Amino acid sequence: MKTLKNTQKENNTQTRVSKLFQAVMILAMLFIASDIYAQNQEVEFEVYTNSAAKASQYLLGDDVALRDCASVQCEKLTTISIGTHVRLLAKSERSQIINGVTSRFYKIKMGPQVGWIWGGLISQKTMVSQMNPEIKFVFGEAGVDYKGYKCFQIRAVKNGEEIDKIYVKSEFLTHDLVSIINKQENTYGTDVITLCNPDSESCDVTSSNSYIVFKNNKLMQTTTLVALEKIELQQDNYAVSCEFENK
C-alpha cells in the first residue's frame, strides 16, 4: 500500500519530468525558429539617402522587370539587362519572398523612367575581372533547390550579356566570404574567386575550401588550384534546380 509520503514523492517526480520536457520542447522550438530565420535572412541594400556609395549596385538577373510600384503584380514598364549599374533611391516598406529569397523592392531611375526592381535580382557582391576589366562577376542568392539546400550563384557578365553562370550549394556562404584574387597575387593566368570557409582562421588561398575558376569563358568549381591548367568543367557543378525565375 502506498503511503501519503510516497504518493507525494511520485507526484513531485512527475512534475519535475513534465517541466523538464516542456523546457526541452521550448528550446527545440526556439532552435527551429532561429534556423528558419537564418535561412530566410533578408537580402538588403543601402539606399542613396543613407549612403551614396553603397547605393550604387549592379544587376544579378537578366531582363529584370522595372515596375511602376513595389510588387510583382504591378505593371512592367521595361526590362533591364544583367550587369546594369543602378542607383537605389528608396526601398519598399515590406519585403517579399520569391523562390526562397527574401528582399524588398528598390526604387531606381533608368533614363526618363522611374520604377521599382526586386532586390533578389541585385548583385550582393560585384567583382571586376583581373584579366579583362570589361568582365564582371556578380554574386547573389539563388533560393533553395528541391531538396531544401540553400543555393548561391555567380555569373560572368560582359557588356550587358551573360557569359556563363554557376550555382553553389552552401548553408554558410555570404557575400563577405566571397572575393577575387587580385592581379598582384594571381599566378594562375586566369580569374580565381575564393569562397572562404568561415571556420578557417583566414581567407587566404591555402585555407579556403573552395574556388570558382573562370577559364575559357567557363565558370567551374574546384577545391584545389595545384593543377589549374588541368581542371575540366564538371557537369555536376551546375545545380540547375537552384535557378529561379526572374520576377
Q: Structural domains in the chain?
A: 56-121 (2.30.30.40), 126-242 (no CATH)
The C-alpha cell at 163 is 557569359
19's CB contacts (< 8 A; 6+ apart) are none
Question: Sheet holding 135-144: strands in order across?
Answer: 125-128, 135-144, 150-158, 161-169
The number of CA neighbours under 13 Å toward the Cβ of 94 is: 6
> What's the pTM?
0.76
SS3 127: strand
Residue labelled with grid coordinates 550549394: 169
**24 vs 77 pLDDT, higher one:** 77
| Percent of the chain whose pLDDT exceeds 70 | 70
pLDDT in tens, 8-42: 555 565 566 566 656 555 554 444 434 444 456 89
DSSP 75: P
pLDDT in tens, 173-230: 899 999 999 988 888 889 999 997 655 555 544 444 689 999 999 999 998 887 675 5
Q: Is pLDDT of 146 > 50?
A: yes
User: Quick check: 152 and 143 in contact, CB under 8 A?
Assistant: no
pLDDT at 140: 97
